[in-house]
Amino acid sequence: MSERRFFVDKIEPVTAVTGEEFRHAAGVLRVKKGDFVILCDNTRFEYRGEVISVDKVSFSVKIAEKRENDREAKADVTLLCGYLKGDKTEYSVQKAAELGVKRVVVFRSEHCAAYMNENKLSRLNKVAAEAAKQCGRSVAPQVVYFDDFAAALSSVNAENKLFACEFASETTRDMSRLSGSAAVVVGPEGGFTEAEARRARELGYDTLYLGRRILRADTAAVTALSVVMWLLGELK
């Protein structure tokens, strides 16, 4: 088992891990004095150290080594996804974090059947952080929410802007030449409207067609991101 990872706000020579990260460490992982752990502060560095004390609300880590994390993707990729029912969005966020995305923008669109609230958004950020730790990253992708479709799409500035459209007939970008940053938009269970597809084009998005079968939204997110990450050289 590789050493446990925890996110903290700030690294000090002796860093206290508190709050949610501590509760998980104490309750589930049973972190104890003498264990070695890795602390991450959402930068490209990570810090290895020894647990020197554990109390009821925190444990303290004496930092022994600062090193560069080599698992972050070089490519800056953002997933934009329609908000899904139940815990489906959690699945997309988790997989996106594993595949190396830097940011997830969840949006509301015409055919969305679910409503976001602050608790759900903070839960999604937690899922992103857990997934980041699990796959050895040092940065947790940030999850943000827009209740306006066009505002969500406009919030991302990427060299390759791709809009996964289930009623398209072809991909309008030469994917073999993909390089640089990318944004991938995937709709909710109900799919997109023609007007939304038009708006996406106006906002500079190319159409990404994933074939004749209609994929579920979470499948489409994983598929589109896998293809993009592969083409950007991130999966080798």
What is the C-alpha to C-alpha distance for residues 24 and 19, in angstroms, rounded to an integer?
9
Q: Minimum Å distance from CB 175 to ligand SAH?
A: 13
Instruction: Quote the strand ranges of 110-196, DSSP E.
Output: 142-146, 160-164, 182-186
The binder of ligand SAH chosen from 63, 136, 150, 209 (CB under 6 A): 209
Given phi > 0 = left and psi -120 to 50 = alpha, else beta, which region is 24?
alpha
How many binding residues for ligand SAH (CB under 6 A)? 18
220 touches ligand SAH by CB under 6 A: yes
Q: Minimum Å distance from CB 222 to ligand SAH?
A: 11
Dihedral sign, Cα of residue 92, residue 94, residue 95, residue 101: positive
Nearer to ligand SAH (CB atom), residue 49 or residue 191: 191
191 touches ligand SAH by CB under 6 A: yes
Would you give the binding string for ligand SAH spanning residues 96-135, x where CB under 6 A is met? Answer: ----------------------------------------
What is the C-alpha to C-alpha distance for residues 78 and 94, in angstroms, rounded to an integer?
13
What is the C-alpha to C-alpha distance for residues 193 and 201, in angstroms, rounded to an integer?
13
Q: Minimum Å distance from CB 188 to ligand SAH?
A: 7
Nearer to ligand SAH (CB atom), residue 45 or residue 209: 209
Structure tokens at 223: 């598929």
The binder of ligand SAH chosen from 61, 127, 187, 225 (CB under 6 A): 187
Dihedral sign, Cα of residue 173, residue 181, residue 131, residue 123: negative
Nearer to ligand SAH (CB atom), residue 36 or residue 167: 167
Q: State the virtual CA torsion across 113, 119, 123, 126 in degrees, nearest 10.
A: 150
186 touches ligand SAH by CB under 6 A: yes
205 touches ligand SAH by CB under 6 A: no
- Run of H or E residues at 207: strand 206-208
Q: Minimum Å distance from CB 170 to ligand SAH?
A: 10
- Footprint of ligand SAH (CB under 6 A): 164-166, 186-187, 189-192, 208-211, 213-215, 217, 220
